């Protein structure tokens, strides 16, 4: 939730800075039909507190607000990245504040306001994030995590692994850690996101055409769905002990799924220039995490 709140503050700062002091009015529509007009100025403060929206020190229960609209002049920031500055941008903010659907899904990452949800036309409806946890762009490698750990570290080995050593003292943190306290996507990006399961990774591979290519000079695989949507996964390699291995030639992405046997391993989505595979890999290795939208 922390990163979500930071995102909201950044979005609102950008919005209010861009809006300057021209007459922008947010209209809060209450459940009983009444409305509250909020004049937006550079001094307007909008924050979240628990389930409440706090505007200039006045608290509104989110459950009491049926919807929010605005009066022109038009806002000057394309929040949802659809190429237009309109009421959709306000709704995008409100959806973020309410913890609802963050923004629309896209068939290709539309702008630098990551992360976006990418729709590849997958049968399950799974939406994939446009970039890795810790990345600032789709081709950025981002951060690396041991399975079940939510913070990065200098050395990735059984000695430093939080949930047990090889074959001994293995801690059971579940057979599917998606959206749990052990999920690096949820922990770092908030409850809208989680790690993909092994099934979701297989679905991606089975339903998309994938090619080995470069994006902005970075090697990786580009997946194209039946709807024309595209997703780029950089060949970010993986971390073993203090080293970063196979960068530019392999991609190693965690699934949320524990390997049935041996449970010292969990399933990864791996790929190279030849193709993709889901395979067990030791949980103590540092792998990339590409989140999916939580159902
Ligand atoms: Zn994006």
Please give the Cα distance from 91 to 102 (Å, whole number).
9
Q: Strands 117-119, 105-106: parallel, antiparallel or unpaired by DSSP?
A: parallel
Element housing 13 (H / E): helix 2-19
Ligand 1 centroid from CA 130, angstroms: 5
Ligand 1 midpoint to CA 105 (Å): 10
Q: How far apart are CA 277 and CA 205, in angstroms?
A: 8
Query: Ligand 1 centroid to 129 CA: how many Å?
Result: 7
- Cα 112 to ligand 1 centre (Å): 6
Q: Which helix (H) or strand (E) holds 244?
A: strand 243-245
Centroid of ligand 1 to alpha carbon of 233 (angstroms): 12
Distance from Cα 33 to the centre of ligand 1, integer Å: 37
For the chain, how far is it from start to end, CA to CA, in angstroms?
17
For the segment 262-274, the average pLDDT, to the nearest whole number, is: 95
The predicted structure's pLDDT at residue 31: 79
Q: Report long-range pairs for 149-155 (Cβ below 8 Å, ≥24 apart).
A: 149/182, 149/184, 150/181, 150/182, 150/183, 150/184, 150/187, 150/188, 152/286, 153/286, 154/242, 155/241, 155/242
Q: Report how far ligand 1's centroid is from the alpha carbon of 55 (Å).
A: 29
Tell which residue, 34, 31, 33, 24, has the closest CA to residue 61: 31
- What share of the chain has pLDDT > 70, as a percent? 73
Q: Identify the residue whose tokens are 């609102």.
A: 12
Which of the two residues, 171 and 31, has the higher pLDDT score?
A: 171
- The rounded distance, in Å, linking the Cα atoms of 230 and 233 is 10
CA torsion through residues 188, 191, 192, 194, sign? positive
Average pLDDT score, the chain: 83
Q: Select the more confidently predicted residue: 171 or 33.
A: 171
- The answer to which of 41-45, 86-90, 190-194 has the lowest mean pLDDT is 86-90
Query: What is the whole-number distance in angstroms between the Cα of residue 109 and the centre of ligand 1?
Result: 4
The alpha carbon of 106 and the centre of ligand 1 are apart by a number of angstroms equal to 9
Cis status, amide bond into 283, omega within 30 of 0: no
Q: What is the pLDDT of residue 33?
A: 82
Cβ-based neighbour number of residue 284 at 10 Å = 26
The answer to whether residues 253 and 287 touch, using CB atoms and an 8 Å cutoff, is: yes
The structure's pTM equals 0.69
**48 and 54 in contact (C-beta within 8 Å)?**
yes
Report how far residue 176's alpha carbon sits from residue 164's, in angstroms, rounded to the nearest whole number.
17
Q: Residue 12 — very low, low, confident or very high, per pLDDT cuts 50/70/90?
A: low
- Residue 97 Cα to ligand 1 midpoint, Å, equals 19
Distance CA 6, CA 47 (A): 10
Report yes or no: 150 and 187 within 8 Å, Cβ to Cβ: yes
- The answer, yes or no, to whether residue 283 has pLDDT greater than 80, is yes
Q: At what angle do helices 2-19 and 87-98 cross, to 10 degrees?
A: 150
Most confident of 68-72, 166-170, 259-263: 259-263
- If pLDDT is split at 50, 70 and 90, which confidence band does 3 have? very low
Lowest mean pLDDT among 16-25, 42-51, 89-98, 161-170: 16-25
Element (H, E) at 263: none
pLDDT at 23 exceeding the cut of 60 = no
Confidence (pLDDT) at 39: 74
User: Rounded distance, CA 184 to CA 31, Å?
Assistant: 37
- 146-155: average pLDDT: 97
Q: Indicate if the pLDDT at residue 2 is higher than 80.
A: no
Q: In angstroms, rounded to a whole number, what is the distance separating the alpha carbons of residues 86 and 30? A: 22
Q: How far is the CA of 132 from the centre of ligand 1 (A)?
A: 10
Tell me what pLDDT residue 236 has. Answer: 98
Tell me, rounded to whole angstroms, the distance of Cα 179 from its chain centroid: 12
């Amino acid at each position: 939730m922390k990163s979500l709140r930071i995102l909201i503050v950044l979005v609102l700062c950008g919005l209010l800075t861009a809006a300057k002091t021209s007459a922008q009015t947010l209209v809060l529509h209450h459940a009983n039909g009444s409305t509250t007009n909020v004049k937006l100025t550079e001094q307007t403060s909008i924050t979240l507190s628990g389930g409440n929206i706090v505007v200039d020190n006045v608290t509104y229960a989110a459950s009491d607000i049926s919807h929010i609209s605005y009066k022109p002049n038009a806002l000057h920031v394309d929040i949802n990245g659809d190429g237009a500055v309109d009421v959709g941008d306000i709704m995008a903010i409100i959806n973020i504040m309410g913890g609802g659907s963050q923004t629309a899904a896209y068939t290709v990452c539309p702008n630098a306001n990551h992360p976006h949800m990418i729709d590849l036309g997958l049968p399950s409806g799974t939406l994939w994030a446009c970039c890795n946890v810790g990345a600032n762009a789709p081709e950025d490698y981002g951060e690396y995590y041991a399975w079940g750990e939510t913070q990065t570290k200098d050395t990735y080995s059984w000695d430093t692994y939080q949930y047990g050593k090889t074959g001994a003292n293995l801690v059971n943190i579940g057979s599917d850690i998606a959206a749990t306290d052990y999920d690096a996507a949820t922990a770092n990006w908030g409850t809208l996101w989680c790690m993909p399961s092994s099934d979701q990774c297989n679905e991606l591979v089975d339903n998309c055409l994938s090619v080995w290519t470069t994006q902005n000079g970075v090697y990786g695989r580009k997946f194209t769905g039946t709807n024309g949507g595209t997703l780029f996964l950089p060949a970010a390699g993986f971390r073993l002990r203090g080293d970063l291995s196979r960068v530019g030639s392999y991609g190693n992405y965690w699934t949320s799924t524990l390997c049935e046997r041996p449970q010292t391993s969990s399933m990864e989505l791996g790929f190279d220039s030849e193709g993709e595979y889901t395979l067990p890999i030791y949980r103590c290795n540092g792998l990339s995490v590409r989140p999916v939208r939580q159902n």
